[in-house]
Structure 1
Amino acid sequence: MSAKLISNVPRLVLWAAGTVAAFALARIVRNEFERVNAELDEARLTPVTERAQHPTLRRDPRTGIYTL
């Protein structure tokens, strides 16, 4: 019985380590998701007048290159 228990321990350790790693990765992804959404919400709430002050790119029909 003890030989079977010893052979299962490495599997349990690997399974536990994988579970902890998956949980940590999920938290990292969630935090990044929330950070990006906060930036997008801030940009979305920026008044249109502020966005209009930034120059826009215009395409040159002859060359196809975008310039300010």
Structure 2
Amino acid sequence: MPPVFVLALGAFSAAALVKLLAKEARRVNAELDASRREEEAVRDDARPSLRRDPLTGEYHPGEH
């Protein structure tokens, strides 16, 4: 096989591999981002908010 065809086949294979790896990286990052958003939502819900006592002016943990 002439070297030009071997080089073209190698370049085509490398481009296909790069495309496949980029697609997989985007999929994994999307999955991780969704997981992080869920963890942040749970963490924010578990954290009590502070409410100001109108009589004393002090802040105390209150209901959501």
TM range (shorter): 0.5 to 0.7
User: Paired residue for 2:31?
Assistant: 32
CA distance in 2, matches of 1:48, 1:26: 33
Amino acid of the residue matched to residue 11 of structure 1?
G
**Percentage of matched positions with identical amino acids:** 17
Secondary structure in structure 1 of the residue aligned to 2:45 = coil
Q: Is 1:16 aligned to 2:15, yes or no?
A: yes
- Higher RCO (C-alpha 8 Å, min separation 6): 2
Consecutive unaligned residues in structure 1, runs of 5 or more? 50-68
Q: Kindly state the Cα deviation for residue 44 of structure 1 after the two structures are TM-superposed.
A: 0.4
Q: How far, CA to CA, are the matches of 1:13 and 1:45 in structure 2?
A: 48
Give the count of matched residue pairs: 47
Runs of 4 or more above 3 Å deviation: none
Alignment match, 1:7:
6
Task: Give the structure-1-normalised TM-score.
Answer: 0.62
